[in-house]
């Protein structure tokens, strides 16, 4: 079992990760969301450390020291793992500056919003997602290449219909006109 706990000491709030009944050292501000790795041997959570946003990864059995990944973003609101264990997240550098970070790389594209609609190739080396480049418009992004823009008279990409071929070379989605 893993959860976050808070304790007030002398008017200050201290946060702790409780993992298998053991409390961590006091943590700076956490986002209170816990993510498990695909193999269930580690968990991750976001927190602030020395005025930097990080994801901390800890082993469930405590056999390894925590590993901190410093985020390049101001915020991150969605963490996910590819079929091969690749870690990714949607992040923001500010208003209308949302982007994808996956398998150690920023794809370089910036959007108003990235939807929680993701597809992977069988090996996890290729990824596709739906993004909003402007008000009420959508694009399907496959391997860093956006599709034509859909919205208005061109129709909208239907949520949940994004698919990626097993080798990652082709994407598919449905459009509602």
Residue 85 falls in which region: left (phi positive, over 0), alpha (psi -120 to 50) or beta: left
Higher pLDDT, 134 or 171: 171
Residue with token string 């219909």? 161
Cα separation of 43 and 152, whole Å?
42
Query: What are the start-end ranges of the E strands in 24-143?
Result: 30-36, 42-49, 52-59, 67-70, 75-81, 87-92, 98-102, 105-106, 113-120, 127-132, 139-142
What is the pLDDT at residue 39? 84
Higher pLDDT, 29 or 167: 167
9 pLDDT tier (thresholds 50, 70, 90): confident
| Token pair of 63 as six digits | 């056999």
Q: What does the pLDDT average to over 17-22?
A: 87
76 pLDDT tier (thresholds 50, 70, 90): low
Q: What does the pLDDT average to over 87-111?
A: 86
Is 60:20 a contact under the CB 8 Å cutoff? Answer: yes
Q: What does the pLDDT average to over 66-89?
A: 78
Higher pLDDT, 158 or 33: 158
Q: What does the pLDDT average to over 73-92?
A: 78
Flag whether pLDDT at 79 surpasses 90: no
72 pLDDT tier (thresholds 50, 70, 90): low
Q: What does the pLDDT average to over 140-162?
A: 90
What is the pLDDT at residue 51? 76
Higher pLDDT, 161 or 46: 161
Q: What is the mean pLDDT of the chain?
A: 85
Q: What is the pTM of this model?
A: 0.75
Is 113:98 a contact under the CB 8 Å cutoff? Answer: yes
Q: What does the pLDDT average to over 156-175?
A: 93
> Is residue 141 classed exposed, middle or buried when 0-12, 13-18 and 19+ CB atoms within 10 A define those classes?
buried
């Amino acid at each position: 079992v893993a959860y976050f706990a808070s304790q007030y000491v002398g008017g200050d709030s201290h946060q702790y990760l409780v993992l298998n009944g053991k409390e961590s050292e006091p943590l700076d501000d956490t986002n209170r969301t816990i993510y498990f790795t695909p193999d269930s041997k580690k968990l991750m959570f976001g927190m602030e450390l020395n005025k930097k946003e990080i994801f901390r990864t800890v082993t469930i059995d405590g056999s390894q020291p925590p590993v901190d990944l410093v985020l390049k973003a101001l915020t991150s609101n969605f963490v996910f793992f590819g079929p091969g264990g690749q870690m990714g997240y949607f992040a923001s550098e500010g208003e209308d500056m949302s982007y994808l970070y996956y398998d150690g790389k920023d794809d370089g594209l910036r959007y108003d919003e990235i939807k929680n609609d993701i597809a992977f190739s069988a090996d996890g080396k290729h990824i596709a997602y739906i993004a909003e480049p402007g008000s009420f418009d959508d694009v399907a992004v496959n391997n860093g290449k956006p599709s034509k823009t859909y919205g208005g008279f061109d129709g909208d990409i239907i949520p949940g219909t994004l698919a990626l071929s097993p080798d990652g070379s082709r994407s598919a989605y449905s459009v509602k006109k």
